[in-house]
Chain A
Amino acid sequence: MSWFEKLMPSRIRTERNGVDKRQVPEGIWSQCNGCNQILYRAELERNLDVCPKCNYHMRIDARRRLDGFLDPESREEIAPHLEPIDELRFKDSKKYKDRITQAQKATGEKDALVVMRGQVLGLPLVAAAFEFKFMGGSMGAVVGEKFVRAVNVSLEHHIPLVCFSASGGARMQEALFSLMQMAKTSAALARLADARVPFVSVLTDPTMGGVSASFAMLGDIHVAEPNALIGFAGPRVIEQTVREKLPEGFQRSEFLLEHGAIDMIVDRRELRPRIGELLAMLGKRASVA
Chain B
Amino acid sequence: MNLNFLDFEQPIAELEAKIEELRYVGDDAEININEEIARLQEKSRNLTKSIFAKLTPWQVSQLARHPQRPYTLDYLERIFTDFQELHGDRAFADDAAIVGGLARLEGRPVMVIGQQKGRDTQEKIRRNFGMPRPEGYRKALRLMHMAEKFGLPVLTFIDTPGAYPGIGAEERGQSEAIARNLFVMAELRTPILCTVIGEGGSGGALAIGVGDRVFMLQHGTYSVISPEGCASILWKSADKAPDAAEALGITAERLKELGLVDGIIPEPLGGAHRDIEQMAATLKQTLVQQLDLLERTPMDKLLSERYQRLMSYGHVKEG
Contact A213 B170 (CB under 8 A): no
Contact with B along A251-265 (1 / 0, CB 8 A): 100000001110000
Contact A172 B319 (CB under 8 A): no
Q: Does B187 contact A (CB under 8 A)?
A: yes
Q: Does B53 contact A (CB under 8 A)?
A: no
Size category of the binding interface on chain A: 35 or more
| Chain B residues whose CB sits within 8 angstroms of the CB of A70 once the complex forms | none
Contact A186 B183 (CB under 8 A): yes
| Chain B residues whose CB sits within 8 angstroms of the CB of A213 once the complex forms | 163, 174-176, 178-179, 203, 207
Min CB distance B173 to A, Å, is: 5
Q: Does A228 contact B (CB under 8 A)?
A: no
- The number of inter-chain residue pairs (CB within 8 angstroms) is 196
Contact with B along A197-231 (1 / 0, CB 8 A): 00000000000011011111110000000000011
Contact with A261, one of B176, B184, B313, B317 (Cβ below 8 angstroms): B176
Among residues of A, the one whose C-beta sits closest to the C-beta of B168 is A242
Contact A92 B244 (CB under 8 A): yes
Residue from A84, A180, A231, A232 whose CB has the most chain B CB atoms within 10 Å: A232
CA distance A144 to B315 in the complex (A): 10
| Chain A residues whose CB sits within 8 angstroms of the CB of B314 once the complex forms | 140-141, 144-145, 174, 177-178, 180-181, 184
Among residues of A, the one whose C-beta sits closest to the C-beta of B209 is A183
Residue from A141, A145, A213, A244 whose CB has the most chain B CB atoms within 10 Å: A213
Min CB distance A203 to B, Å, is: 10
Of residues 70 through 111 on chain A, the ones whose CB sits less than 8 Å from some CB of chain B are 81-85, 87-88, 90-93, 110
| Chain B residues whose CB sits within 8 angstroms of the CB of A181 once the complex forms | 313-314
Of residues 193 through 245 on chain B, the ones whose CB sits less than 8 Å from some CB of chain A are 202-203, 206-207, 209-210, 222-225, 230, 233-236, 243-244
Contact B247 A88 (CB under 8 A): yes
Q: Does A148 contact B (CB under 8 A)?
A: yes
Q: Does A194 contact B (CB under 8 A)?
A: yes
Min CB distance A242 to B, Å, is: 6
Of residues 164 through 196 on chain B, the ones whose CB sits less than 8 Å from some CB of chain A are 164-167, 169-176, 178-180, 182-187
Among residues of A, the one whose C-beta sits closest to the C-beta of B231 is A92
Q: Does B311 contact A (CB under 8 A)?
A: yes
Of residues 258 through 279 on chain B, the ones whose CB sits less than 8 Å from some CB of chain A are 258, 260
Min CB distance A2 to B, Å, is: 15
Contact A233 B222 (CB under 8 A): no
Q: Does A19 contact B (CB under 8 A)?
A: no
Interface residues in chain B, defined as those with a beta carbon under 8 Å from any beta carbon in chain A: 163-167, 169-176, 178-180, 182-187, 202-203, 206-207, 209-210, 222-225, 230, 233-236, 243-244, 247-250, 255, 258, 260, 307, 310-311, 313-319
User: Can you list 9 A-B pairs with a CB-CB distance of less than 8 A?
Assistant: A82-B318, A176-B223, A180-B206, A180-B313, A186-B186, A190-B184, A213-B174, A251-B170, A259-B173
